[in-house]
Chain A
Amino acid sequence: MRIANTNFACVKKLIVWPLVLLLAALSGVLLSHIVDKRSFLDRQRLASMEASGAGNLMTGISLRPEFALGFRNAMADIVWLQAVQVAGNMKMTHGDYSRLYSLLDVATNFDPRFDVPYLLGGLILGESPDHGAEALRILDRGSAQFPDDWQYPFYKGYTLYFNIGDYAAAGEEMARASRLPGSSPYLPSLASRMLAEGNEPETAIRLLASIIEKETDDSRRLALERRMREVLVERDLQMLERAVEAYHKATGAKPLQLRDLVVAGILPVIPVEPNGGNYILEQGGGVRSDQVARRLHVLQKKR
């Protein structure tokens, strides 16, 4: 009897604890599935709200700030924190940028004196090739609110140069920024270089390097450094594509891999991809980076 009891206890230990562990693991798996499913549903809901315009309720309230019942700043802060979460996404989609714009719009409607959303928001929106107009609109609103602040025309010039590709307008904005009190002494030369050299990647790199050097805000410097890496990639891609063309002219055939350009003596070395990735030769002779989804078209020469 006693032996039977001991055996039963052993069996219980052998079954119960693994069962508990199994159930714990199962609950973890189920939870992760629920989280995945819900975040997918949330994304779908957000997309459908954006499409139907139902997400504009907050925009409507923000346009009549009396309806914030005295909590204008708190509402602006909450919306701004939401915007920071959206902008913090490492791989922002087109929908993320649209949502960021509407959040920045709402935050600045609630509290038009809140300067960070205009500057940082405008700068991050300008990273999207499709949201240059929105970035300029946010910066324009900031400029209207703070007409004596040189940073607004400065970042408008930056956005016009790197996002829109309107070098003349960019140069004019930089010149306007240089005339405002407190602006850096390097702005007039920046403006003239923008006007004179247009879409040269080397010019863009020199401009960005001087902007990054003078930038005091850490968050804005991060956004500028991201842009710098994009420009470096574009410069390298243009250089590699010219080398592929030169190889084709010299040998009558396309190279099979980028290394062939070095072997043929056209390039001394394949440049290092600044994001830690690789440059890849495509079948048609084009070159791309495995880290950058879209090329910086504003710095490409019109053919």
Chain B
Amino acid sequence: MTGRIFSIASNTFRETIRNKILYAIIAFAFFVIGMTFFLADLSVGDFARIIADIGLASIHVFGVIMAIFLGITLISNEVDRKTIYIILSKPVRRHEFIFGKAFGLSITLALTTLAMATVLFAIHMVYKLGGRPEPGIFVASIGIYMELILLTCLATFFSTFTTPVLSGIFTISLFVLGHLTGYFHSIAGQSKVAAVKWGGRALFYLLPNLEVFNWKNDVAYEQLPSASIFGLAVGYLFCYAACILAFSCFLFARKDFK
């Protein structure tokens, strides 16, 4: 079973890494990250902070674009090209197909995130005013990458039952809501209306909490997440992504391709 998942994953990786639009997004990301070098000059004091903050925000934004753009077309491309019939006619189970696809895209995103983080690390290191090697850039990028994996799983989930455009809209909505769950929790805590209280709490636990992976705001203060925070975030990602992929497999297993 693992071998079949790996072969689908490696195929997906090869397919996504050859995507020309991916290169266009990466090129633009490098350009924006490179521009932080000049943007920092506009500041007064704390110059390197501008490079780290804006650079990490760029990695985040472009990573999300890549994850959503590639994630929503993972299944639909196979259906459109009718290659799904060939794959599923072989001894490949549907859940193996879903896991393989998500895993393959995760490898692509790992590579692109690493490339962007390395460029940012280099720019931060060589900057003339207060530049230094900042390992926090890589730690924050790991957090961003974890968020991208979750978004990939969500995009895969939506693409099992709806069109790419709707999958994109749903995933972007969950990206926005995923950063607002703390707000729902505080509303639930403050409200005296039982429905709002319980509804807010339900949303807090049901929606993906993407803020648990957000460590980029601490890089400027050289405050890396502790091992326990890092471990809890990995555990949360594993559990939530497994649930989403399980739902995706469930829906995909019921899909009729005849």
Contacts and interface: CB of A to CB of B under 8 A. Distances in A.
Contacts of A67: 180, 183
B209 to A, nearest CB: 11
Nearest to A116: B45
A189 B226 CA distance: 45
A219 B179 contact: no
Interface stretch (B91-99, B212-220, B234-242): B212-220
A217 B49 contact: no
B117 interface: no
Interface string A41-73: 000000000000000000000001011011111
Contact of B43 (A66, A84, A113, A217): A84
Interface residues of B, number: 26
Contact of B182 (A66, A84, A116): A66
Nearest to A81: B42
B49 to A, nearest CB: 7
Contact of A84 (B42, B54, B179, B216): B42
B183 to A, nearest CB: 4
B134 interface: no
B54 A111 contact: no
Given A70-B214, A70-B216, A72-B217, A77 B49 contact: yes
A101 B154 CA distance: 42
A113 B45 CA distance: 14
Given A69-B179, A71-B60, A77 B45 contact: no
Given A66-B183, A73-B220, A74-B54, A81 B214 contact: no
A85 B39 CA distance: 12
Interface string B146-157: 000000000000
B216 A73 contact: yes
A120 interface: yes
Nearest to B51: A77
Contact of A66 (B53, B60, B180): B180
Contacts of B39: 81
Interface string A82-107: 00110100000000000000000000
B228 to A, nearest CB: 21
Contacts of B57: 71, 73-74
A80 interface: yes
B193 interface: no
Contacts of A115: 46
B49 A219 contact: no
A76 B211 CA distance: 18
B195 interface: no
Contact of B45 (A64, A73, A85, A219): A219
B176 interface: yes
A15 to B, nearest CB: 44
A219 B45 CA distance: 8
Closest A-B pairs by Cβ, 8 of them: A74-B57, A73-B53, A116-B45, A69-B179, A66-B183, A70-B214, A73-B217, A219-B44
20 contacts: A66-B179, A66-B180, A66-B182, A67-B180, A69-B175, A70-B60, A71-B57, A73-B53, A73-B57, A73-B216, A73-B217, A74-B56, A76-B53, A81-B43, A84-B42, A87-B44, A114-B46, A116-B46, A217-B45, A219-B44
